[in-house]
Each structure stands twice: as C-alpha cells, then as structure tokens.
C-alpha cells in the first residue's frame, strides 16, 4: 500500500509539471495575441498589461524549474521520466524567452501608438497567429509525445520566415520612398523579428521533442549545407 | 574503499561534464572568430569550414546532454550538484544556438564575398569580439561559480546592443543614399543581429549562473518596467 501511495504521488508530481508547462504555454500564447492586439488596435493600456504579465511568466519558469529539481532529487526518475523532466527544464527556458519577445513587441507597440499609423497591419498579425499556433503545437507534441505534430511545427517555421522576409522587403520600400517613415518602419521591422524569434523558439522545442521521442536529433543528422 | 572509489568516479564524471562544456565553449568562440574573419578577409573557404564545424558543436551538445542524463540517472545527485547538472543541460542549448548563429553569419559572409565590399568592417568585428568574450566569461562564471563575473557579462550586453543599433542606423543611411547597396546592407544588418543574439545567449547563461549561485533570478526580481 505504502509503495502504491508513493507511485501515485510521483505520478501526480509529473502531471503537475505537465499541467504547469501547459499553463505557462497558454499564458505565453495570450501574451502573443495581446501584444499584437495592442499594436493593431492601438491599445497602449493592453500593451502595458501585457508587459506586466511577463512577471508571472518568469515566476512560472522558476516554479517549474524548482518542481523539476525536486522530482530529480527525491524520486530519482529513470529512462523516459528522466528525459521528460530534463526536457521540461529546457522547454521552460524557451517559453520564458518567448515571454521576453512579447514584452519587446508590446514596448514597440506603445511607441508606435504615439505616432500616425504607417499602414494597416495584415502580415504581422498573420505571423503572430502562426507563431502562437506553433508554440501551442510544440507543447502539445511534448505532453502527448506526438512526433508527427512536432515535425509539422518545424515545417511551419518556414512560413513564418518567409512572412518575415516579405515584411522586411515591404518596409524597406516605405523607408526608401519616405524617409519620414524610417523610425516607424524600423520598429515594425523589430516586431517582425521578435515574432520570427518566437517561431524559432517553438521550432527549437519541437526539435527537442523529436529528439526525445526518436532518440535522434533531426537538426544534427543532416550533413552541413554550406549554401542553403 | 569501494565507497571512496565511487565518490572519485562521480567527481570525475562531474569534471568531465565541466571540461566538455568548456571545450564546447572554446569551439564556439573559434566559430565566432572564424565567421567574422571569413567576412573581413573575404575568405569564403574559411566560411565553409566554419559551417562544417557546426556539426561538431551539435555532437558535443548531444554528448553533454547524455552525460548529464547518465549522472542524473545513476548518481542521484543532490543540492549543488543537481543544480550544476540541470544548469549544464540548459547552457549546452544556448551554446548550440550560438553555433547556429555563427553558421548564419558564415553563410551571409559567403554571399557578401561574391559582391564588391560595401565598406570596411570595423564595428562588426568589435561586436564579435565582445560577444565572444561574453560567451567565454559566462562559462567561466559557471564553472568557477563566480557571480561577479556573471554580473559583468550581463552589463556588457548593453555595449553589444548599442553597437548593433549604431550599425543598423549606419546601414540605413547607406541604403537611403544608394539603393544598389540595399541587398548587401540587409545581409550586414542580419550579421549584426546574429552577433547581438550571440551576446543575448551569453547573457542568458550569465543570468542563470547568478540564479544558481544566489538563488534568485536577477531578471525576475525587478518590477516590470513598461517603458524602459
């Protein structure tokens, strides 16, 4: 009976880490959506609230880190559980850095909201939505152990990269045609870069999940391609 | 006697992780220097060799990850050793991503070497040197447990950020004055961003080291600053 009790508690601890990670992921997704809404709807109050929430993300990171350390110290997990926990430790770092990127987007939104709009925002919200879905799916792939979903996330990264390049080119034409737009264009360019980095973090998570599940790293099996 | 033998072996395993991490750091520093040299001296062969080395960095990441997992599984480390190993797991991820950034720099260098030079490179090498020192010092801070050195790394990040902004502004004037320079200016801008991200990774490592040593996260204790 005693042994069974310990097993149940151990399972509960692993489930707790899993659900805290998903909670952190959900909050980060909301940060992405809110930071973008603050830009599109010129809502600087929402931007400030988004920046304030980053604090909670950081606390969740520390909390999950501590939970993982406790399980490692007290339960001595082996094999699959050990890989799950060590990967959780790496994933929270990516989630926390996504939160940092959202904060950067929100700060630039506040600055942009003080100036006349440069153009209607269409591609940036599309990029944000795609990056947010990638974050969600990379975490789902992790908790469900779904390699196919993780592979999809890696593929979707190309779409975000392409959108980022397209946005950069478009902003460049604005800058060349009207030097008074330069300052705003640079800020929008920065936001585009932040969204691209968010997608990169999701891709990194997905790659690590594939490595956990298949025992091989998809990033590291292909030969180097000097010009791709 | 038997117990002493186990202790010695355990120490040797921890030292092995420590020295492998420093080896990985040293290789990453060389990648930064070589990628920059390939750009400044227009040496595309060196750029290709740098890209090829990324493969080794990736293998070192997997090797260190495995060593950490083995120690966690077999030795059940507690307290300080547990924090050391879980932090090592996080740090290798940053080092591997620094390698990715160096690969990106080297790829852009190959492209730029096929075109006439836009201008002599002065600030980019300065940025690369500073970022490389930050990588080295963040790892030194980790293996030595030196919080002061880690704090220095965090402060140095501002210098790299400032250089990046200065380079971006300068490239913009090139683009505005001469539209034929745009394609090259965008590539140089991208390289500047890569170097800034390398410095960010070093800063992230330093922040985690401070957290390990002081038990508090310097990123997460300050109140949110909406407009800084």
pLDDT (tens digit, 9 = 90+) per residue, B104-138?
999 999 999 999 998 888 999 999 999 999 999 99
Residue that wins the pLDDT comparison between B174 and A35: A35
CA dihedral A102, A106, A109, A110 (to 10 degrees): -170
**Residue pairs between chains A and B whose CB atoms are closer than 8 Å:** 100
The winner for highest mean pLDDT among A36-50, A172-186, B159-173, B201-215 is: A36-50
* pLDDT over 90 at B180, yes or no: no
Contact A89/B86, CB-based, under 8 Å? yes
Identity of the residue in B48, B73, B204 whose CB atom sits nearest the CB atom of A78: B73
The chain A residues in contact with chain B (CB within 8 A) are: 47-48, 51-52, 54-55, 58-59, 61-62, 65, 68-69, 72-73, 76, 78-79, 82-83, 86, 89-90, 93, 97, 107, 110, 168, 172, 175-176, 179, 182, 186, 193, 204, 217, 219-220, 223-224, 226-228
Q: Residue A144 has what pLDDT?
A: 92
* pLDDT over 90 at A6, yes or no: no
Give the Cα-Cα-Cα angle A149, A154, A156 (nearest 5 degrees). Answer: 90
User: H/E/C letters for each residue in chain A?
Assistant: CHHHHHHHHHHHHHHHHHHHHHHHHHHHHHHHHHHHHHHHCCCHHHHHHHHHHHHHHHHHHHHHHHHHHHHHHHHCCCHHHHHHHHHHHHHHHHHHHHHHHHHHHHHHHHHHHCCCCCCCCCHHHHHHHHHHHHHHHHHHHHHHCCHHHHHHHHHHHHHHHHHHHHHHHHHHHHHHHCHHHHHHHHHHHHHHHHHHHHHHHHHHHHHHHHHHHHCCCHHHHCCCCCCC
Q: Determine the topology of domain B2-220 in CATH.
A: Methane Monooxygenase Hydroxylase; Chain G, domain 1 (1.20.58)
Average of pLDDT values for A196-207?
A: 95
* pLDDT over 80 at A3, yes or no: no
Closest Cα partner for B179 from A214, A177, A32?
A177
Angle of the B123-144 helix axis to the B147-177 helix axis, nearest 10: 160
For residue B163, name the pLDDT band (cuts at 50, 70, 90).
very high
* pLDDT over 90 at B224, yes or no: no
Q: How far is it, in rounded angstroms, from Cα A206 to Cα A58?
A: 21
Give domain limits for chain A: 2-219
The winner for highest mean pLDDT among A39-43, A80-84, A117-121 is: A39-43
Residue of B nearest to A100 (CA): B219
Q: Residue A9 has what pLDDT?
A: 85
Residue B119 Rama label (left phi>0; alpha psi -120 to 50; beta): beta
Q: Residue B73 has what pLDDT?
A: 85
* pLDDT over 50 at A67, yes or no: yes
Show the tokens assigned to A5. 């009790």
Contact A72/B72, CB-based, under 8 Å? yes
Q: Residue A223 has what pLDDT?
A: 42
Tell me how far apart the 2 most distant CA atoms of chain A are, in Å: 76
Average of pLDDT values for A1-18?
A: 81
- Spell out which residues of chain A touch residue B61, defining contact as CB-CB under 8 Å: 220
Where is B175: in which H helix or E strand? helix B147-177
Do A68 and B86 meet the contact criterion of CB atoms below 8 Å apart?
Answer: yes
Q: How far is it, in rounded angstroms, from Cα B163 to Cα B122?
A: 11
A165-to-A112, A127, A160, B100, B148 alpha-carbon distances in Å = 21, 11, 9, 19, 40
Identity of the residue in A55, A83, A110 whose CB atom sits nearest the CB atom of B227: A110
Contact B224/A82, CB-based, under 8 Å? no
CB burial string A42-69: b at 16+ within 10 A, e below: ebbebbbbbbebbbebbebbbebbebbb
Please state, rounded to an integer, the average pLDDT across all residues of chain B.
89
What percent of chain B has a predicted confidence (pLDDT) above 70?
93
Q: Residue A1 has what pLDDT?
A: 53
Average of pLDDT values for A72-93?
A: 89
Measure B168 CA to nearest chain A CA, in Å.
Answer: 9
- Spell out which residues of chain A touch residue B86, defining contact as CB-CB under 8 Å: 65, 68-69, 72, 86, 89
Suggest the residue from A98, A184, A226 to mutate for an interface test with chain B (most B CBs closer than 10 A).
A226
Q: Residue A10 has what pLDDT?
A: 84
Q: Residue A227 has what pLDDT?
A: 37
Residue of A nearest to B68 (CA): A86
CB burial string B155-172: b at 16+ within 10 A, e below: ebbeebeebbeebbeebb
Show the tokens assigned to A84. 């799950």
Average of pLDDT values for B177-193?
A: 86
Instruction: Find where tokens 């492209």 sit.
Output: B111
Domain A2-219 maps to which CATH number in 1.20.1740.10, 3.40.190.10, 1.20.58.220, 2.70.98.60?
1.20.58.220
For residue B216, name the pLDDT band (cuts at 50, 70, 90).
low
Residue of A nearest to B91 (CA): A90
Suggest the residue from A49, A72, A157 to mutate for an interface test with chain B (most B CBs closer than 10 A).
A72
Environment class of B227 (CB within 10 Å of its CB; exposed 0-12, middle 13-18, buried 19+): exposed
Q: Residue A130 has what pLDDT?
A: 97
Measure B176 CA to nearest chain A CA, in Å.
Answer: 6
Environment class of B11 (CB within 10 Å of its CB; exposed 0-12, middle 13-18, buried 19+): exposed
Identity of the residue in B72, B93, B225 whose CB atom sits nearest the CB atom of A90: B93
Q: Residue A178 has what pLDDT?
A: 82
- Spell out which residues of chain B touch residue A226, defining contact as CB-CB under 8 Å: 47-48, 51-52, 107, 110
**For the ranges A3-7, A141-145, A206-210, B75-79, which has the lowest average pLDDT?**
A3-7
Please state, rounded to an integer, the average pLDDT across all residues of chain A.
89
């Amino acid at each position: 009976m005693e042994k069974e009790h310990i097993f149940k508690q151990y399972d509960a601890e692993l489930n707790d880490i899993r659900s805290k990670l998903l909670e952190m992921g959900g909050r980060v997704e909301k940060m992405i959506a809110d930071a973008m809404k603050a830009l599109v709807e010129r809502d600087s109050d929402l931007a400030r609230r988004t920046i304030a929430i980053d604090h909670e993300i950081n606390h969740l990171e520390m909390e999950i880190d501590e939970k993982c350390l406790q399980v490692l110290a007290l339960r001595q997990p082996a094999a699959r559980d050990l890989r799950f926990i060590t990967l959780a430790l790496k994933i929270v770092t990516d989630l926390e850095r996504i939160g940092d990127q959202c904060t950067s987007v929100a700060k630039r939104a506040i600055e942009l909201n003080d100036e006349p709009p440069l153009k209607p925002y269409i591609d940036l919200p599309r990029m944000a939505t795609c990056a947010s879905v990638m974050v969600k799916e990379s975490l789902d792939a992790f908790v469900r152990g779904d390699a196919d979903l993780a592979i999809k996330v890696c593929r979707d990264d190309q779409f975000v990269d392409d959108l980022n390049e397209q946005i950069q080119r478009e902003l460049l034409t604005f800058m060349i045609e009207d030097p008074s737009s330069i300052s705003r264009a640079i800020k929008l360019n920065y936001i585009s870069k932040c969204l691209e980095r968010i997608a990169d973090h999701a891709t990194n998570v997905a790659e690590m999940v594939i490595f956990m599940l298949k025992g091989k790293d998809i990033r590291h099996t292909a030969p180097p391609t000097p010009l791709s």
